[in-house]
Copies of this chain bind each other. A is one copy, B any other.
Amino acid sequence: MKKTVLAIDIGGTNTSIALVNNNGEIISRSTIRTQDYSLFDDFVNAIYSESKKINTANIELAGIGIGAPNGNFHNGSIEYAPNLPWDGIIIISEVFKSKFNLEVVVHNDANAAAIGEKKFGAAKDFSDFVVITLGTGLGTGIYSNNKLLLGAHGFAGELGHCIVEKNGRKCNCGRLGCLETYASVTGLKKTAFQLLKSGEYDSQLIADKLDEISGLQIEKLASLGDSLALDSFELTAQYLGEALANLSAILDPQAYFLFGGLANANELILKPTKYYFQKNLLQIYDGKTQIIKSQLPNNDAALLGAAAGIFDFLKR
Contact = CB atoms under 8 A, between A and B. Distances in A.
Contacts of A2: none
Contact of A282 (B152, B154, B173): B173
Interface in A66-102: 79
A151 interface: yes
Given A149-B145, A245-B163, A246-B162, A283 B173 contact: yes
A25 interface: no
Contacts of A147: 145
Interface in A212-262: 242, 245-247, 249-254
A208 to B, nearest CB: 32
Contacts of A253: 151-152
B173 A251 contact: no
A250 B157 contact: yes
Given A127-B152, A151-B144, A174-B283, A161 B249 contact: yes
Contacts of A79: 284
A155 interface: yes
A118 to B, nearest CB: 14
A175 interface: yes
A152 B288 contact: yes
A142 B155 CA distance: 16
A98 B250 CA distance: 33
A215 to B, nearest CB: 24
A158 interface: yes
A150 interface: yes
A71 to B, nearest CB: 13
7 contacts: A153-B288, A154-B252, A159-B250, A163-B245, A175-B280, A175-B282, A250-B251
Shortest 5 CB-CB contacts between residues of A and residues of B:
A151-B252, A128-B152, A156-B252, A158-B249, A162-B246
